[in-house]
Structure 1
């Protein structure tokens, strides 16, 4: 299916998207639309024949639990409402804990990497088959960007994706910006991944911008697309003509002419990709024989968390035969324990699990808290208006002891409740406004002191 050139549709750039030349299709975040009340701009695009593809972010198909039937039904409803030719999601986990670990379920509010092990692959494949059976159109899955690596991984990213496609027939959404991110953050060579990928399974490609801070690449979707990312797109184009390529932008939106220029740059790269260009260990480009393999640059360090810088440990064929079979008792439980320990360290301050890079976990933890504060400010813009400059510090202090457990909207209410219980904000007028905001959305009156003690006791018991 040929898609052409697309852009991620966001309300902030809805008018610009309608006017941009050469936009063949758009992608929408599935959880951000209501099938019965589509934004007028999306309806106009659809009436013009522009294809619209829903892109999910909350299924957590890489998690230990089987996917929620309600979430799958919601995604299917959106695909039908939009007349979408396919739907997409991520190879990631977004929550952990719960029944499999007999512990409280925690929400990451972010896409976290799945360990590239045979256990995790088996669970992922089962979850993907469940999703495929529940959706009215084909499914394609995206590789994610990550700051951290799992210890003792058994497959490279390319091998993991190839096995996934072979076992399930699922399509791939390859994000070349994420390949660049993982190159900087985890030492994984993007061309090695491309060489190992079943490129014929690619449904489309994502391109996005980011920024490097303190030696860590942040996949922000709020900065211009960099040349190293376009170089990886070029290397992919040397191997296959992608059916579609899409520009993602989620924040700090530039003027329409800058978006148009980035789309032009993407079209040019796809249309005239020079053969045999291979990113080196820092993402720059050097000539290489087309179809050949490229070793990492001399002195490339090992990736944090145990994965080798040039793509991870080699796979032993017998492991596929022994652990890739359908009968693999305990795979979900083992995966659940590992993911719960990691997520708890990231959002609840528990000790770093063995084998992980504690410095990287601290970076990831701060990034998760910052994103959580930003998203809560978007879903509940009244809170930063009421609290003013003190909003961010207050929220980050709250987040240190209160992991998210039921999504961002509930998180906003819990944050406001915590402030009111503590007698904050100190300004009486602001506290009155916050009380009114909370009452309209949660309950007829703020929680009393007795409620505070009961909830604190329950929280203490749950952490034991």
Structure 2
């Protein structure tokens, strides 16, 4: 495994804070969501950063390497194209699944994979396919989870270790996700930190979240808590990471607060302990339920049966999360309800960003959120977020909503303007009637 490129301390680049990011003192690098950029039309801010010598690393969110299907060649090509356009030393993705093909369902977010040997076989083969297709090294991120799969055979530490040993893939360790999984699943971050081969560590993510009713939500919209900096300090005691990145995706704070969080990260890296906190002594590692050497890996046609079984399990769970079908046996039903609501809320927030007129028409963010959650319950996203926005508007209009006639006319006009040559039906007749009355 070749040495990892030195990155330094950076921040996740987002359009909402692009100008602030350019002004941050001592910024070494940025990470950009790969799916949000077009190689031939980079945002001016990213171009200026590149011209200054600031490295830019593409971070993918849609490959779903932990899913039952083999990686999509088009998505791999697109990720590689972005790496080349940015001159990136590596690309990153997640150990997660995001969709199923039978039935065709999209989570709209990262979901954990079962920690079984069969799921590991599928993941390893998917990783090798991705590595062969990408022009630069690949690193994979551990994700945060609200729930655990029943019947897990491996600890997180063992699962990551065997993944590295079998594929040579690098790891992007998110210390906020380690904290999340400690709260939500009772997993000791120390066991993972102790198991990571130092040479496999590509870089580190740091982010904020919030705890509600005993569940930690990895929001990327709250300040980084001391508990997450403590985990970073424990990682720093073991290895000097090549890069550390602050993530913020929503509710962006003033520029001074971003500077303060980056300063706190630098302090931890310099001193090996979080400012104002004494890193707890390492807990005793949780015994691995299967410490024996890994069996010989299964590849190629040998994983087909494993893929089928994994696909059935993942589809049953995803259907419960986004389509309202019964929760599979063995899962914590309350946690699945929390995850389902979180997926719907995230889906609604993306639709609101793509169609900001909708919250305005419906009377504000709270009214929009309530209406969207009611719509999304039992209605999986069928054809992307833009289609979802139109389907949401249709759902409301068919039910005679919003109650205010003026708002209903505005929503009808909004829908008609964007629906295009949609086949005529009940909603089209309703729209024509409304617009006729308005005229």
TM-score by length of 2: 0.91
Q: Which residue of 1 is the match for residue 259 of structure 2?
A: 260
2:420 maps to which of 435, 443, 452: 443
2:91 maps to which of 80, 87, 93: 87
Distance 1:150 1:412 in 2: 32
Superposed displacement of residue 285, structure 1? 4.3
Asked whether 1:381 is paired with 2:356, we answer yes
1:321 maps to which of 290, 295, 298: 295
Residues 92-136 of structure 1: CA deviation (Å, up to 9, x unaligned): 0011242xxxxx311111100011111111111111111112211
SS at match of 2:104: strand
Q: Which residue of 2 is the match for residue 295 of structure 1?
A: 284
After superposition, where does 1:138-287 map in structure 2 within 5 Å? 138-274=137-273, 285-287=279-281
2:19 maps to which of 15, 18, 43: 15
Q: How many residues align?
A: 419
Asked whether 1:334 is paired with 2:300, we answer no
Q: Which residue of 2 is the match for residue 368 of structure 1?
A: 343
Superposed displacement of residue 398, structure 1? 0.8
Distance 1:105 1:284 in 2: 48
CA 1:388–1:446: 2 relative to 1, 3 Å: farther
**Equivalent residues of 1:420, 1:446 under 8 A apart:** no
Residues 376-435 of structure 1: CA deviation (Å, up to 9, x unaligned): 111211111222243222211110131113332221122122223334334343333323
Q: Which residue of 2 is the match for residue 302 of structure 1?
A: none
Distance 2:423 2:19 in 1: 41
Residues 303-327 of structure 1: CA deviation (Å, up to 9, x unaligned): xxxxxxx47x511526x326x3333
CA 1:357–1:78: 2 relative to 1, 3 Å: same
CA 1:379–1:450: 2 relative to 1, 3 Å: closer
Asked whether 1:414 is paired with 2:391, we answer yes
Asked whether 1:429 is paired with 2:406, we answer yes
Asked whether 1:66 is paired with 2:43, we answer no
Distance 2:424 2:188 in 1: 53
Superposed displacement of residue 142, structure 1? 0.3
Distance 2:255 2:379 in 1: 40
CA 1:236–1:164: 2 relative to 1, 3 Å: same
SS at match of 1:78: helix
Distance 2:198 2:234 in 1: 12
Distance 1:450 1:260 in 2: 50
Q: Which residue of 1 is the match for residue 50 of structure 2?
A: 46
Unaligned 5+ runs, structure 2: 430-439
Unaligned 5+ runs, structure 1: 99-103, 278-282, 289-293, 297-309, 453-464
Superposed displacement of residue 238, structure 1? 1.3
**Equivalent residues of 1:107, 1:406 under 8 A apart:** no
SS at match of 1:330: helix
Residues 255-305 of structure 1: CA deviation (Å, up to 9, x unaligned): 11111111111011112115xx9xxxxx984335xxxxx337xxxxxxxxx
Distance 1:77 1:442 in 2: 32
**Equivalent residues of 1:439, 1:445 under 8 A apart:** no
Farther off after superposition, 438-447 or 369-378: 438-447
**Equivalent residues of 2:69, 2:101 under 8 A apart:** no
CA 1:430–1:126: 2 relative to 1, 3 Å: same
1:4 maps to which of 8, 12, 32: 8
* C-alpha RMSD of matched pairs (Å): 2.1
2:81 maps to which of 62, 77, 81: 77
Distance 2:240 2:291 in 1: 32
